[in-house]
Amino acid sequence: MKKFLAIWVMMLSLTVTTSAQDYRFEVGPALGMSGYLGDLNRSNLFKHPGVAGGGVFRYIMNSRFAIKGNLLYAGVSGNSKGMDNKFPELRDYEFSRSLIDLGGQFEFNFLHYGMGPRYKNYKRITPYMTLGLGFVLSMGGGNTGATFSIPMGVGVKYKLKERLNLGFEFTMRKEFGDKVDGLSDLYGVKHGFAKNTDWYSIAMFTVTYEFSKRCTKCHYVE
């Protein structure tokens, strides 16, 4: 985690002098697949895949840096059948939950993303890194839990046309509490955030449209 944050600080310092894009905002739908890692699934991220979808909104700071907001739904599930680990009293567990994820993330493009004159060195495709903070509401099994999360991941963007973008993103989301699966301390040992076992992932495709053109000339009016 510390190395990941250090890389981010270095990336952000490189974005200050990059040129601005023609439009300030992007908005569009997202659709994909969700996965779960926790007490009932230790290794196979997509052992019980779920459906994920929602919407994303970006503020485009420049060709290298953007701030993204998301409102997403994700279904997660799991069970202890076939697990090597055995729970006390040889009990079996299973769950199915619905997650509502509201969050914001910073994005760093490895290339100058956009379309324009050749001398600006824009690229129609770029990989990127993302890191942020989210709020997650977990529902199912007769109970509801809420917690914060840290989404981190990578993606790729491709500019289909001047204002139309296609993207794919994979993020892992670390929970601040043991709320995703609705199960906690199954071995009778309490633990906090550092050793919390709940993670979930979202792999999603996005289609976004840019709007709100930037002013290319400044006019002084008294």
Q: Is residue 86 part of a domain?
A: yes
Domain count, the chain: 1
Q: Tell me, what's the pLDDT at 120? A: 81
- The whole-number average pLDDT for the span 130-159 is 94
Q: What is the band of 90 on the pLDDT scale with cuts at 50, 70, 90?
A: very low
Q: Tell me, what's the pLDDT at 10? A: 56
Alpha carbon 171 to its chain's center: 5
Q: Which of 50-59, 76-85, 204-213 has the lowest mean pLDDT?
A: 76-85
Q: Which 8-state DSSP code applies to residue 46?
A: T
Strand partners of residue 93: none
CATH number for the domain harbouring residue 69: 2.40.160.20
Q: Is residue 14 part of a domain?
A: no
| Ramachandran category for residue 121: left, alpha or beta (phi over 0 → left; psi -120 to 50 → alpha) | left
Q: Is residue 218 part of a domain?
A: no
Distances (CA, A) of 177 to 11, 98, 142, 151, 170: 29, 16, 18, 14, 22
Tell me what the pLDDT averaged over the chain comes to: 83
Looking at the chain, how many residues does it have? 222
Strands 199-213 and 143-159: unpaired
- The whole-number average pLDDT for the span 39-50 is 80
Q: Is residue 102 part of a domain?
A: yes
Q: Is residue 165 part of a domain?
A: yes
The tens digit of pLDDT for each residue in 179-199 reads: 777 666 555 555 555 556 689
- The whole-number average pLDDT for the span 151-172 is 97
Q: Is the pLDDT of residue 170 over 50?
A: yes
- The whole-number average pLDDT for the span 40-57 is 87
Q: Tell me, what's the pLDDT at 32? A: 98
Q: Is residue 15 part of a domain?
A: no
Q: Which of 7-11, 106-110, 194-198, 206-210 has the lowest mean pLDDT?
A: 7-11
Q: Is residue 202 part of a domain?
A: yes
What residues make up the domain containing 63?
A: 24-213
Which residue has better confidence, 14 or 63? 63
Q: Is the pLDDT of residue 219 over 70?
A: no
Q: Is the pLDDT of residue 87 over 80?
A: no
Q: Is the pLDDT of residue 1 over 70?
A: no
Q: Tell me, what's the pLDDT at 169? A: 98
The tens digit of pLDDT for each residue in 102-123 reads: 999 999 999 999 998 877 899 9
Q: Is the pLDDT of residue 162 over 80?
A: yes
- The whole-number average pLDDT for the span 123-134 is 97
Q: Is residue 6 part of a domain?
A: no
Integer Cα distance of 202 and 53 in angstroms: 9
**Selection from 72, 70, 182, 187 nearest residue 130 by Cα:** 70
Q: Which 8-state DSSP code applies to residue 6?
A: H
